[in-house]
Structure 1
C-alpha cells in the first residue's frame, strides 16, 4: 500500500465521515506529508502498514531540531489521528504513535485588543476608497460577532436575519449556529451591500457571498490577514494581531462585563466548554468583583 494512496483515502474519510473543513483536512494532511518527505529523503523504505514506533520516534526527533514544542505536539497529534484511522479501517493492528509522548507545553493565552486599539484600527481605514467601507464592515463584523476568518469570508446574504437580530454561521465541521448581531454592525453591513457591493461585477458563483474583492470574487483568508496587518502598522499598534485577535477580544470583553461563559461558548461555536475557558485570563480584581456580586454570603 502506497503512502499517497492511503493519504487520499484518509482525506476522503476526514471530509465525508468527520465533516471537517478543507483547512482542517489540509492541516492533517501536512503532518502526514512531512513524514512521507522525511522517509523519502532518508531512503527509508516502509509502508503505512510496516512503519514502526522507532521510525516515527526518529522522525519526531529530527523534526524537533527545527520546530518548537507546540509544533511538535501538533505534529504528533496529526500523525496519531492518521494511524488511528488505519487501525479503524483494519489496515493496522496498532497505532505506532501510542508510546510517543507530546512535549509539555503551557497553555498559550490569546492576544487581545483593547477598545481603544480596535478604534485605532478602524479609524486607520481610508473610507474615501470603496474597499475602505468594506474593510470597516469586515472589522466590525469580526469583533461584534466573534467570527473565525473562514466563517467571515463565507458569510452569505442568505445568512442575514436582521429582523430577528441574528446571523447564521457555518463553523468547524460544517456545524451551523446563530450568532446575535448588534444594530450598529447591521447598519455597516447594509451600507456596504447597498452602496459598494451593488456596483461590483459579481462573479455568478459568489452572488450570495457578502464580502468580495474588486473583481467580484470571494476574499481569501490571506487577504483578510493582510488588511489587518497593514492597518496595524498604520495605526501604530505593535502587537502581533490577526483576524483571530478580534475573536479573542470579543470573548474577553464579554466575559469582563459579566457575560455567562456558556453563552460565550455558544456564540463562538466551541464544542467543549474547556476551549472557551482559555478566556478566563482576567485580572484578580475582576474575579473579586464577580465574587462580591454573585456570592450569596458576600
Structure 2
C-alpha cells in the first residue's frame, strides 16, 4: 500500500463513522451512497476507482478533451464511483443496472444518457485489464433530443434593439451577438478571440477551432466592424490584456477574459429585455448561420470549413428542418 492510499484509507475510516450516524434511519443502499457523497465533499475523493479514474482522465486530457469536458467527465465518474461503491475489477452487470436506476430517479433523460456515455467510455478504456464486464454489454439509454432552434433575423434585430449604443457593457454584448450572427462560431471560440489575431483591414480573425484545435478564420460584416472599432478604445483603456472580451467579478474588478457562462447569462438577460419567449440559446446562432450558409448554395465542404467541423457528417444535425420549415416544404410540394 502506497503512502497516499494509507492516508486515503485513514481519512475515509475517520469520516465514515461520523456520517453513518447522520443517516441512521436510511436504507443500506441510500446510506452507502450518502456516505460516499459526503466523503467526496469533505476529503475530495472516493477511494474505490479513484486511481483508474485519474489515469483515464490524464489519458483523455492528453488528447483533445477540453478542461470543461474533463470536469464533466470527472463529475460523471464520481457519481459512478459513489453509487457502485466497489473497485473497478469487481464491477458486474447488476452494478450498471443499479447506477442507471438511481440516475433515473434524480436526473433528466438527457443527463442520464450523458453520464452513461462517459461510463461506457471509461469501461471501454479499461476493458483489456477488467474482465468482469465488457463495454459492449453496457447499453447507453438514448434520450429524446430537444429541438435545435435557430434564431431568426427578426429576433436577432430585436435583441440588438434593446442594447444601448453609448454604454460599454451593452456595446460588448452587442458585439458578441453580431459576431455570433456573422461567424457562426461556438461560444468558447468567441471568448477566445485575441486582439493580436484580428486583421482590422480585412475584417477577420484567426482562431483555434475549439474541438479540432486547427486554425480557422472568422469573417464579419461592416456593421459588426463599426461596433468593434467603437468598443476598442474603451476596451483598451479598461484593461491591457490580449482578450477581445473581458468579464467582471462580483467585486467590480475586470477579469482577463470573458467566460462562456457569462455569455449564456447575458443572453438570457437580453432575451428577457427583448420579450422573446422562444427557447433559444447562444448556440442557436450557430445553427442559424450554418443553415444560412447551406441555403446560399455553397458546398458542404465549404460549410464544414467555415463552421470548423472535421467532416461533412457533423453537419447532419444542423440540416434538420424545424416544424415551420417542414410545413413550408410540404405546402410548397403540394
Q: Same-fold call, TM > 0.5?
A: yes
Mapped pair 1:35 → 2:63:
no
**Aligned residues of 2:113 and 2:141 also touching (Cα < 8 A):** yes
Q: Take 1:228 and 1:6, find their aligned partners in 2: how far apart are those partners?
A: 39
Mapped pair 1:12 → 2:46:
no
Partner of 2:239 in structure 1?
201
Mapped pair 1:26 → 2:71:
yes
Question: In the TM superposition, what is the alpha-carbon distance from 1:173 to its structure 2 partner?
Answer: 4.0
Mapped pair 1:127 → 2:173:
no
Q: Take 1:66 and 1:276, find their aligned partners in 2: how far apart are those partners?
A: 33
Partner of 1:212 in structure 2?
246
Partner of 2:278 in structure 1?
239
Query: What are the within-5 Å matches in structure 2 for residues 46-125 of structure 1?
Result: 46-87=86-127, 90-93=128-131, 96-125=134-163
Which secondary structure does the structure 2 equivalent of 1:172 belong to?
Answer: coil
Query: What are the within-5 Å matches in structure 2 for residues 100-179 of structure 1?
Result: 100-163=138-201, 165-173=203-211, 175-179=213-217
Question: In the TM superposition, what is the alpha-carbon distance from 1:274 to its structure 2 partner?
Answer: 2.5
Q: Take 1:75 and 1:97, find their aligned partners in 2: how far apart are those partners?
A: 14
Q: Take 1:176 and 1:105, find their aligned partners in 2: how far apart are those partners?
A: 31
Structure 1: 4+ residue segments shifted above 6 A: 285-288
Question: In the TM superposition, what is the alpha-carbon distance from 1:21 to its structure 2 partner?
Answer: 0.8
Question: In the TM superposition, what is the alpha-carbon distance from 1:106 to its structure 2 partner?
Answer: 4.3
Which runs of 5 or more residues in structure 2 are unaligned? Answer: 1-46, 249-253
**Aligned residues of 2:186 and 2:286 also touching (Cα < 8 A):** yes
Distance change >3 Å, CA 81–CA 74, structure 1 → 2: same
Larger relative contact order, structure 1 or 2 (CA cutoff 8 Å, min sep 6): 1
**Aligned residues of 1:213 and 1:219 also touching (Cα < 8 A):** yes
Q: Take 1:121 and 1:192, find their aligned partners in 2: how far apart are those partners?
A: 18
The farther-off stretch of 159-168 and 208-217 is: 159-168
Number of residue pairs matched? 278
Question: In the TM superposition, what is the alpha-carbon distance from 1:200 to its structure 2 partner?
Answer: 0.7
Structure label with greater radius of gyration: 2
| Equivalent residue in structure 2 for 1:272, among 311, 314, 332 | 311
Partner of 1:222 in structure 2?
261
**Aligned residues of 1:49 and 1:92 also touching (Cα < 8 A):** yes
Q: Take 2:132 and 2:197, find their aligned partners in 1: how far apart are those partners?
A: 45
Q: Take 1:125 and 1:73, find their aligned partners in 2: how far apart are those partners?
A: 38
**Aligned residues of 2:189 and 2:208 also touching (Cα < 8 A):** yes
Q: Take 1:139 and 1:100, find their aligned partners in 2: how far apart are those partners?
A: 42
TM-score (norm 1): 0.83
